[in-house]
Amino acid sequence: MTLAAFGAIHLDTLAHAERAILRDTSTPARLTTRPGGVAANVARALARLSPPCALAGAVGRDSDGDALLASLRAEGIDVSTVHRSDHPTGRYLALHDPDGGLAAAVVDGAITDALRPGDIDIAHPALAEADLWFIEANLPQPVLGQIAAAAKHRLLAADAVSIAKAPRLAEVLDRLDILFCNRLEGAALLGQRRAGGPAPAPEDALAIASALVALGVGACLVSDGPAPLALATAGICMSLAVAPVAVRDVTGAGDALIAGTLAARARGWDIADAARAGLAAARVTVQAQGAAPATLTWDAVLGEHAAAAPPTA
Ligand SMILES: Nc1ncnc2c1ncn2[C@@H]1O[C@H](COP(=O)(O)OP(=O)(O)OP(=O)(O)O)[C@@H](O)[C@H]1O
Ligand SMILES: [Mg+2]
User: Whose Cα sits closest to atom 23 in ligand 1?
Assistant: 254
Report the half-sphere exposure of 292 (CA within 13 A, side-chain side): 24
Protein residue closest via CA to atom 28 of ligand 1: 225
State which H helix or E strand residue 132 sits in. strand 132-136
- Report the C-alpha gap between 141 and 208 in whole angstroms: 22
With contact defined as beta carbons under 8 Å apart, do 233 and 209 qualify?
A: no
Pocket test for ligand 1, best of 92, 162, 286, 301 (most atoms within 8 A of CB): 286
Record the pTM.
0.94
Residue-wise pLDDT tens digits, 42-51: 999 999 999 8
Cis previous bond, 28, omega within 30: no
Whole-angstrom distance, CA of residue 173 vs CA of residue 214 = 10
Q: Give residue 251's pLDDT.
A: 85
The Cα 53–Cα 76 span in angstroms is 8
- Cα–Cα distance, 154 to 176 (Å, whole number): 10
Per-residue pLDDT at 248:
86
Measured distance CA(176)–CA(264) in Å, rounded: 17
Q: Output the CA–CA distances (angstroms, integers) from residue 234 to 188, 209, 216, 277, in the order listed.
A: 21, 11, 9, 21
3-state SS track over 46-83 = HHHHCCCEEEECEEECCHHHHHHHHHHHHCCEECCCCE
Distance (Å) from CA 197 to ligand 1 centroid: 29
- Beta-ladder partners of 231: 221, 238
Probe target for ligand 1 pocket from 180, 257, 283, 296, with the most ligand atoms within 8 Å of CB? 257
Of all atoms in ligand 1, which is nearest to the CA of residue 160? 22
CA torsion angle for 149, 151, 152, 154 (degrees, to 10)?
-160
Cα-Cα end-to-end distance for the chain: 31
> Residues with Cβ within 6 A of ligand 1?
182, 223-226, 229, 242, 245, 247, 250, 253-255, 257, 279, 282, 286
Cβ pair 257, 301 in contact under 8 A: no
Which residue out of 182, 250, 305 has the highest number of ligand 1 atoms within 8 Å of its CB and is therefore the one to mutate? 250
Ligand 1 centre distance from Cα of residue 133 (Å): 22
* Closest atom of ligand 1 to CA, residue 279: 31
Tell me which residues of the chain have a pLDDT lower than 50.
311-313
Q: Is 197 exposed, middle or buried (0-12, 13-18, 19+ CB in 10 A)?
A: exposed
| Protein residue closest via CA to atom 4 of ligand 1 | 226
Ligand closest to 137 (CA) is 2
